[in-house]
Amino acid sequence: MKIALCDAGLKNADIEREIYGRFGFELEVRICRTAEDVIAFGREADALCICQHPANARVISELKRCRILARYGAGLDTVDIAAATRAGIVVTNVPHAAVHEVSEHAISLLLACIRRIVNHDRRIRSGEWGIYEKEPVYRIHGKTLGVIGLGAIARKLVAKLRGFELRVLACDPFVKPEVARVLNVELVSLDQLLSESDYVTIHAPLNDQTRHLINAQTIERMKSQAILVNCSRGALVDTAALADALRKRRIAAAGVDVHETEPPPRNYALYELDNVIVSDHAAWYSEDSVAQIQREAAEGVVAVLTGKRPANLVNPEVYEVLAGKQVGSNRTGGPSTSPTML
């Protein structure tokens, strides 16, 4: 069996090699920069492992032997799941590897924006002092937090912020009211969330319905002192509209880990602003999460190639067919592709 791993900036593939070595599987790692690179690399592979690289319909149509497409991470916006399903290829992901990391990064960006930490550091280094008199800061306690998407990451974030005694609003059409009650969260419309929240954090997947969910019109509904945090997908936010709103102080600040173009261009509009903090799509990262992603992705590949059910099935109907079972029978819940996934 040949397993093709498109290099995702990993320090090494020792974890995968150890797991695959138990079964005599061959692992090949290659840097792929384009869809053509992925096709050339994965065409004859029994399993294709990807992270940032596209697995669109064109790529999938060129895979001759592939039985499993393993996504290194939770998000599936780079994978054409329907095309993989039609081709009889199992899709897996690692939905819970970075739940702690992303929730903590979002909180870090939020707190840094609220307390203007980066501006303090930058201006003190340049010789200024007492900048708190120039940039007003407001108490966190008692404010309203709005969470767009109430999946595993958002729920962890809400739990970790409980000590601030915030009122929490959430917008997620896939969450049942009884679940929200247990979480002590109010389910509301997007309009209500934006108009009443002091802080808004996004934890939704990117799809046709959520692209540019935050745009000039929705930003107009936000409070002038609102802070927006995005650690999900860059295209959920219209960057031009956000930059314009920040420039005009239509909203107070933003913390942005993900960007519509990655890496951003040198003339990136957000770089010009002192009321935005940016990071380099790093929210998912820790040494712990990397190891978990490598291990769980490899275990999923081994399961499929040895005729077993992987833990994190995205398209279970394909597995049922491959396993010789009736489609739709004996399913045990692969991860959701709704906003609750993130």
Distance in angstroms (rounded) separating the CA atoms of residues 81 and 85: 6
pLDDT value of residue 334: 39
Domain positions in the chain = 2-97+286-334, 99-278
| Helix (H), strand (E) at residue 160 | helix 152-161
Distance in angstroms (rounded) separating the CA atoms of residues 100 and 155: 10
CA torsion through residues 320, 88, 337, 157, sign: positive
pLDDT (tens place) for every residue of the chain, 342 residues total: 899 999 767 889 999 999 999 999 999 999 888 889 999 999 999 999 998 888 999 999 999 999 999 999 888 888 999 999 999 999 999 999 899 999 999 999 999 999 999 999 999 999 998 877 778 899 999 999 999 999 999 999 999 999 999 999 999 999 999 999 999 999 999 999 999 999 999 999 999 999 999 999 999 999 999 999 999 999 999 999 999 999 999 999 999 999 999 999 999 999 999 999 999 999 999 999 999 999 999 999 999 999 999 999 999 988 888 776 544 433 333 333 443 434
CB atoms within 10 A of CB 263: 9
Distance in angstroms (rounded) separating the CA atoms of residues 101 and 99: 6
Do the domains 99-278 and 2-97+286-334 match in fold?
yes
pLDDT value of residue 330: 38
Distance in angstroms (rounded) separating the CA atoms of residues 93 and 81: 11
- CATH architecture under which domain 99-278 falls: 3-Layer(aba) Sandwich (3.40)
Quickly name the fold that domain 2-97+286-334 has: Rossmann fold (3.40.50)
pLDDT value of residue 41: 94
pLDDT value of residue 329: 39
- Widest CA span in the chain: 71
Distance in angstroms (rounded) separating the CA atoms of residues 232 and 339: 11
Crossing angle of helices 99-115 and 117-125, in 10° steps, is 60
Would strands 186-187 and 167-171 be described as parallel, antiparallel, or unpaired?
Answer: parallel
pLDDT value of residue 267: 95
pLDDT value of residue 54: 82
Structure tokens at 331: 């399913």
- Which residue from 61, 230, 52, 45 is spatially nearest to 148, judged by alpha carbons? 230
Q: Please give the model's pTM, rounded to 2 decimal places.
A: 0.88
CB atoms within 10 A of CB 203: 31
pLDDT value of residue 341: 37
Q: State the catalytic residues.
A: 233, 262, 281
